[in-house]
Structure 1
Amino acid sequence: MNNVLRVGIIGAGGIARVAHIPNYLKHVDKVKIVAVADVVRENAEQLASTFDIDNVFTSYDEMLNTVELDAVSVCTPNKFHAEATIAALKAGCHVICEKPPAMTVEEAEKMAATAQQAGKILTYGLHYRHTPEVEALKRFIDADELGGIYAARVHAIRRRGIPGWGVFTNKELQGGGPLIDIGVHMLDTALYLMGYPEPDTVFGVAYQKLGNKKGVGLSGEWDWENFSVEDMVRGMITFKNGASIILETAFAANIEQREEMSVSLMGDKGGADVFPLKIYQEKHHTLIDITPAYLPKVDAHGIQMESFVNCCLTGNQPISNAKQGVALQKIINSLYESAEKGKAIKLSRTV
């Protein structure tokens, strides 16, 4: 591979514009963005003009067959994650695909298998892993300060935070609502800190109580008449090692706070809240709380993209991998399946 990573962008939407491209451009000595592909040519041309990208395509297959690329960012709606990722991997590219991995477990498994067969990196846009709170707590966990983590709570809840842009309320294109969009971040954070234990049983309930009605929007006005996703999911996940997670995620709920993104962990030596970071222990016959005096302010997206670039150039593996993507997708889809069927879902062994 060249010393400079040749990158293509699939999907010219907001996440490409805000998170991927600007952070690639921080590393002009290591990265050159060669091309952008989007089914809406005007969007691709606008992005190319803004960031001085030479090549524009309306088909990612044409892009992959026309220009020489080393890596690809997949920034499409969820429905197209799998097919775009698999095409890029087969074309010999490393891939960073935005979250969630895919729409179905089968797609996530095929993505992981293709990456393994191609010998290429496949990682996902789960940038909360790179926040200073998570990085600091991971060091404590690795030093056994929490002991065996057996319970967690996950919250990703907004008061009236239904996105008024994009396709976030379109089930056909996204596969779901808050669970697959914001809940996935906090769920992955908990799983990552717990060591990604193997899931055993999932029980979930889903609600559509507020999103399909006209109301006040704190994230823009949404298309309530065509709102086809859930506005809340609540659930419980148990794991084969005996651990469990309680999850609650919502685009819209009648709560006090505008938004809460939080993870709480409980181990047999200590516990922690992650956002903000606070650790709870017993030492020397005294219950103590540990709060960092200082944590750096960082751009987690920026750290994620820098890590991806460096992994592509060095062959090191990113902290988010395709196998974890399969496990994460399996839990998400099982929560939706449980909510639809009204019963707990017993999971088979993950790949």
Structure 2
Amino acid sequence: MKNPLKVGIIGAGLIAKEAHIPNYQKCENVEVVAVVNHHIEKAKQCAEQFNIRYTFSEVQEMLEKVELDAISICTPNKFHADQTIAALQANCHVLCEKPPAMSIQEAKAMEEAAEKAGKILSYGFHYRHTSEVETLKRFIEKDELGHIYAAKATAVRRRGIPGWGVFTNKELQGGGPLIDIGVHMLDTALHLMGYPEPTTVLGSTYQEIGNRQGVGLLGDWDWKGFSVEDMARGMITFNNGASLIIESAFAANVEKQEEMNVSFYGNKGGADLFPLKMYQEKYDTLLDVTPRFLPDHSAHEKLIFDFVQACQTGKKPSSTAKQGVILQQIIHGLYQSAQNNKPVLF
């Protein structure tokens, strides 16, 4: 048997403890050997919970003292680029939580570091691994939707401002719902559309609810220190002629408590993702196609397995560094367009 894939974890918060570490420990021939957190007590608590050998308070110390093959980065967005590049330079494969970074320049630097090191850089877009997305992808690959010329991505909560973490801190996160939950539906849409490159981005952002006290369905948030948007909307056109509309909100006066969905419009069929339903015209008949059964599995577990398999076999991971740059271009374009009140051209 080959030596186990030795994994280090940067960040000991919820995403590390609920999504990354337990799923690595389900993989064959993989060992999580180290965890680092700037609060060493959090690292020690995490290590004790998951029986991890080494704990550190500094990333560089872990990279220098422990022989590692792969790193998961589970820290606030501000630290993604520096930590990813440091891990790649230490000859490690990297799975970085979404979004890639805080800017286009950072995402490009991460891609270049991966190319220079000859290592894998992938991102934590677990929605790609849901049964709905995997099923629709198979239909799209069989040309059941034809040319997808338009899409709509929605990630909207009625009152879902996180009452924990740094999600409302622009300095650490780079933005609000667009860069946190909207990025999931944006990546899902791009993934199923073949990841076209943007040509024009037009965006608007709003801060109408989050900066005042109110009902919090995800806990009480720091409304006095709320420095991100509570809603972002935009439209993107692509180099293949397609277009996408995106709407994302932590808090909006809507009926549903939360809606995470992507709708696709193709010349042979259309689809909604969550729940999955397809719309076609065949044999002079309009059809609605609904799966009778979809496998029930953990998307995070499949995300980690995909990354591990790529590290162990050299197989291309589902999410790539190049796609991370394209995604970051769109996010940056939406924020820049909103700030300057004019379209951003690529």
| TM beyond 0.5 | yes
Q: Secondary structure at the match of 2:25?
A: helix
Secondary structure of 2:75's counterpart equals coil
* Alignment match, 1:31: 30
Match of 1:9 in 2: 9
Q: Which one-letter code corresponds to 1:103 in the other structure?
A: M
Q: Partner letter of residue 96 of structure 2?
A: C
For the residue of structure 2 that corresponds to 1:237, the secondary structure is strand
Letter in 2 for 1:17: K
Q: Which residue of 2 aligns with 1:126?
A: 125
Deviation of 1:12 (Å): 0.7
| 2: CA distance, partners of 1:93 / 1:194 | 30
1:19 alignment counterpart:
19
Provide the aligned C-alpha RMSD in A.
0.8
Note the C-alpha offset of 1:25: 1.0
> Which 4+ residue blocks in structure 1 deviate beyond 4 angstroms?
none
| Distance in structure 2 (CA, Å) of the matches to 1:20 and 1:344 | 38
Contact 1:7 1:73 in 2 (8 A): yes
For residue 303 of structure 2, what is the aligned residue in structure 1? Answer: 304
1:297 to partner: Cα distance = 1.0
The 2-side partners of 1:236 and 1:94 are apart by 34
SS at match of 1:226: coil
Give 1:307 shift: 1.0
1:34-73 per-position Cα deviation (integer Å, ceiling 9, x unaligned): 1001111111111011111111111110000000000000
Residue-by-residue CA offset, 1:57-103 (whole Å, 9 max, x unaligned): 11110000000000000001000000000000010000000000000
Q: Aligned to 1:308, what secondary structure does the other structure show?
A: helix
Aligned pairs for 1:134-283 within 5 A: 134-283=133-282
After TM superposition, list the pairs within 5 Å mapping 1:78-157 onto structure 2: 78-157=77-156
Residues 111-136 of structure 1 show CA distances to partners (whole Å, capped at 9, x for unaligned) of 00110111100000000000000000
SS in 2 for 1:225: coil
CA deviation after TM superposition for structure 1 residue 281, in Å: 0.5
Note if contact 1:3-1:313 (Cα within 8 Å) is conserved in structure 2.
no
Alignment partners' CA distance in 2, 1:225 and 1:100? 25
How many positions carry a matched residue from both structures? 346
Amino acid at match of 1:271: G
Q: Which amino acid aligns with 1:18?
A: E
Percentage of matched positions with identical amino acids: 65
Code of the residue aligned with 1:299 in structure 2: it is S
Contact residue 36 and residue 56 of structure 1 kept, 8 A: yes
TM-score normalised to structure 2 length? 0.99
Which amino acid in 1 is paired with 2:170? K
Deviation at 1:3, TM superposition (A): 3.3
Unaligned runs of 5+ in 1: none
Q: TM-score, normalised by structure 1?
A: 0.98
Matched, 1:287 2:293: no
1:152–1:244 CA contact under 8 A, matched in 2: yes
For residues 279 and 110 of structure 1, the distance between their equivalents in structure 2, rounded to whole angstroms, comes to 39
Task: Return the offset for 1:2.
Answer: 4.5
- For residues 275 and 29 of structure 2, the distance between their equivalents in structure 1, rounded to whole angstroms, comes to 34
Asked if 2 retains the 8 angstrom alpha-carbon contact of 1:157 and 1:253, the reply is yes
The corresponding residue for 2:41 is 42
Instruction: List gaps (5 residues or longer) in structure 2.
Output: none
